[in-house]
C-alpha cells in the first residue's frame, strides 16, 4: 500500500492561486491526498487582524476563503496554516514535509522575465525548493 501524498498549496488571494486550489483539489481527490493551505501574512497585516489568523471565521472571510471552500466542495482532506513572516523562507521551510508545493503564477509583476512569468515568491520557490513545485496558470 502506498504512502499518503501531502501537498502544500500556497495561497495569496489571487485568482491564480484559486485556480491552483481547484487543480490540486481535483488531483488530491483522485489520489486521496491531503492538502495544507498555506497563507503567509507580513507583520503589518498580522497586526491589523481582528481574529486569530487560524480561527475558522478569519479563514472563511480572508484571502484564503475561496481556496478552502473549493477544497471543501471537492471533499479533500485539508489543513490550514496561516504564518507570519517572509513568504519565501516560510514556504521553503515548510515544503520539506510535503511531496510537492503547488502555487499559482501571476504573469504580471517583476523585472526579470522569470519574475514577470512567475512572480518573485514563485520564482524563489522554484529555484530553492528541494521538492517538486507545480505552477498553475
Per residue in 11-55, pLDDT (tens digit) is: 988 899 999 999 999 999 999 999 999 999 877 776 666 565 565
Give the span between the Cα atoms of 106 and 13, in whole angstroms.
11
How confident is the model over 78-100, as a mean pLDDT? 94
Higher pLDDT, 91 or 3: 91
- The answer to whether 127 and 114 have CB atoms below 8 angstroms apart is no
Give the span between the Cα atoms of 97 and 67, in whole angstroms.
21
- Single pTM value for the model: 0.84
Using 50, 70 and 90 to split pLDDT, how confident is the model at 66?
very high
- CATH dotted code for 6-136: 3.40.50.620
Give the span between the Cα atoms of 109 and 124, in whole angstroms.
14
Using 50, 70 and 90 to split pLDDT, how confident is the model at 108?
very low
CB count, 10 Å around CB of 7? 24
Amino acid at each position: 500500500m502506498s504512502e499518503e501524498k501531502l501537498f502544500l498549496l500556497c495561497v495569496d488571494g489571487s485568482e491564480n492561486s484559486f485556480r491552483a486550489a481547484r487543480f490540486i483539489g481535483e488531483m488530491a481527490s483522485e489520489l486521496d491526498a491531503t492538502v495544507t493551505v498555506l497563507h503567509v501574512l507580513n507583520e503589518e497585516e498580522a497586526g491589523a487582524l481582528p481574529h486569530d489568523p487560524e480561527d475558522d471565521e478569519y479563514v472563511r472571510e480572508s484571502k484564503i476563503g475561496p481556496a478552502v471552500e473549493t477544497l471543501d466542495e471537492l471533499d479533500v482532506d485539508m489543513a490550514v496554516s496561516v504564518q507570519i513572516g517572509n513568504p519565501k523562507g516560510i514556504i521553503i521551510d515548510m515544503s520539506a514535509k510535503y511531496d510537492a508545493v503547488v502555487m499559482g503564477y501571476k504573469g504580471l509583476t517583476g523585472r526579470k522575465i522569470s519574475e514577470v512569468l512567475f512572480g518573485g515568491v514563485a520564482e524563489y520557490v522554484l529555484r530553492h525548493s528541494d521538492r517538486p513545485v507545480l505552477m498553475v496558470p
